[in-house]
Amino acid sequence: MKHLLSIADLSADEITQILDTAVSMHEVQDRQVKKLPTLRGRTIINFFFEDSTRTRASFEIAGKWMSADTINLTGKGTSVSKGESLRDTVLTIDAMGVDMMIIRHPASGAPAQIADWTDCSIVNAGDGTHEHPSQALLDAYTLRRALGDLRGRHVAIVGDLTHSRVLRSNLLCLRALGAQVTLVAPPTLMPSGVAAWAAADGFETSYDLDAVLPTVDAVMMLRVQRERMSGGYFPTAREYAVTYGLTARRLGLLQDHAVIAHPGPMNRGLEISADAADAARSLVLDQVSAGVAVRMSILYHLLAGEGDA
């Protein structure tokens, strides 16, 4: 495996292998000295054309804890802002002999295009509304730690599904691991063509959150991406929160063992209430912690592999 561009490129066995390796990587976080020699001498570029806190920081920490030389670049701080093409910029970086570029870009498909242009490994850290594979892997890792084997577990993904790159990656990952998935959103925020997609890939859809919640083992709330919205997808923020938000009242609809996830950043009071975000069953901070371990595992499998274990 040279690149991580899409969850669709991974088999169920490969997903499981990444998650299993992450268990060992997670132990590093509890050490006083958080350092492994695995990627000593390797150079990783974190190249982010969009804002990020969790993904960028966790990839940087993952690289440094594995002894790689990590460098952070943003679109505003490179020659792209002077008019240089994306192709010329990444070819310039690739010519410096780097081993990996971790790319976040507002255009869907940009990391895959960069992988065709360059010789180094490419990791998709989120491309437009397409995919965010490392997020799906860390979400699956977190759910697996909380619930055990995900085969047969019921996960609801709720919120702004139209604009979410997390949705596609999570749906592919959870289905590959044998989970039952239900998508819940208002009609205006359901992806176009979702009925045919659901029929082909074997998941369910619903517009009724209250009906779905009592049946789930996990509910994943997705952020309302107002920065990507150009029209009126719902009348008011209050109406959305009342109809599709995970409110204090809706916590009572969940089964006792059911857990709450959110990939972040959260809009408290919109898709998720403070009561839900801070509840004992919330996995929000567990997801952040898992992000470092899973991304360490991704770097290991792409740059070291079993031969250097």
* pLDDT tens readout for residues 26-51: 999 999 999 999 999 999 999 999 98
- pLDDT tier at 307, thresholds 50, 70, 90: very low
- DSSP annotation of 51 reads -
CA atoms 222, 228, 232, 238: torsion sign:
positive
For the cut 90, the answer to whether the pLDDT of residue 229 exceeds it is no
CA 146 to chain centre: 18
pLDDT computed for residue 148 by the predictor: 98
| Residue 12 identity | A
Of 148-162, 184-198, 227-241, the range with the lowest mean pLDDT is 227-241
Q: How far is CA 248 from CA 17, 106, 237, 263, 270, in A?
A: 37, 34, 17, 19, 12
Polymer length in residues for the chain: 309
pLDDT computed for residue 309 by the predictor: 35
For the cut 50, the answer to whether the pLDDT of residue 308 exceeds it is no
The whole-number average pLDDT for the span 206-230 is 88
The whole-number average pLDDT for the span 256-279 is 96
- pLDDT tier at 75, thresholds 50, 70, 90: confident
DSSP string, 233-295: SSS-HHHHHHHHSB-HHHHTTS-TT-EEE--S---BTTTB-HHHHTSTTB-HHHHHHHHHHHH
Mark the binding-site residues for carbamoyl phosphate, compressed into ranges. Answer: 54-55, 104, 132, 135, 264-265
Instruction: Please state, as a whole number, how many other Cβ atoms lie within 10 Å of the Cβ of residue 86.
Output: 19
For the cut 50, the answer to whether the pLDDT of residue 16 exceeds it is yes
For the cut 70, the answer to whether the pLDDT of residue 213 exceeds it is yes
- What is the Cα–Cα distance from 8 to 303, expressed in whole angstroms? 20
For the cut 60, the answer to whether the pLDDT of residue 227 exceeds it is no
Mark the binding-site residues for L-aspartate, compressed into ranges. Answer: 82, 165, 223
CB 223 within 8 A of CB 261: no
pLDDT computed for residue 18 by the predictor: 98
For the cut 60, the answer to whether the pLDDT of residue 89 exceeds it is yes
Could you report the per-residue pLDDT of 128-150, keeping only the tens digit for each? 999 999 999 999 999 999 999 99
Of 72-86, 116-130, 167-181, the range with the lowest mean pLDDT is 72-86
- pLDDT tier at 208, thresholds 50, 70, 90: very high
Domains of the chain in start order, with CATH, are: 3-132+288-304 (3.40.50.1370), 133-283 (3.40.50.1370)
Give the whole-number percent of the chain exceeding pLDDT 70.
96
pLDDT computed for residue 78 by the predictor: 80
For the cut 80, the answer to whether the pLDDT of residue 275 exceeds it is yes
Beta strands in the chain (DSSP E): 43-48, 69-74, 100-105, 121-127, 154-159, 180-184, 204-206, 218-222, 259-261
Mark the binding-site residues, compressed into ranges. Answer: 54-55, 82, 104, 132, 135, 165, 223, 264-265
pLDDT computed for residue 230 by the predictor: 54
pLDDT computed for residue 77 by the predictor: 74
Name the token pair of 244.
């599709």
- What is the Cα–Cα distance from 262 to 188, expressed in whole angstroms? 21
Please state the pTM of the whole predicted model. 0.94
pLDDT computed for residue 226 by the predictor: 61
